[in-house]
Amino acid sequence: VIVATSENSCITQLENLSQSGCCIKKPADWNFSPNDVLNLYFVIDNENVLDAEAMLVWDSDKLIGLQYLQAQPIPIQIIDEIQ
C-alpha cells in the first residue's frame, strides 16, 4: 500500500481490510497526523492500482488503523494477497 498526501508519502504492507477501513503496518518513515486526509493506493500488480481516501483513526508502535471517507468494495485480488 502506498500512503500519500500532497507533502508526504510512504510504502507499507496491508495487515487487514474491510469495506470501512484497513489496518497497515506502521513504516519507520510514518510522518502523518490525525487531521491528514490520506490517499491510499493498493497496488495489486503492474496494471491494477485501486485508490481510496482515508483518515487515521488509531495507531500503535507497529500498526495504523485507517477509516475510508467512503465505503469501498473489497476486490478479491486484495483479499487473496493478505490471506
Backbone angles phi, psi at 31, to 5 degrees: -140, 45
- What's the predicted TM-score (pTM) here? 0.83
Residue 6 has pLDDT above 80, yes or no: yes
Give the model's confidence band at 77: pLDDT under 50 very low, under 70 low, under 90 confident, else very high. low
The three cell numbers locating residue 7: 507533502
For residue 45, the cross-strand partners are: 48
Q: What pLDDT score does 48 carry? A: 81
What average pLDDT does the chain have?
87
Q: What pLDDT score does 33 carry? A: 85
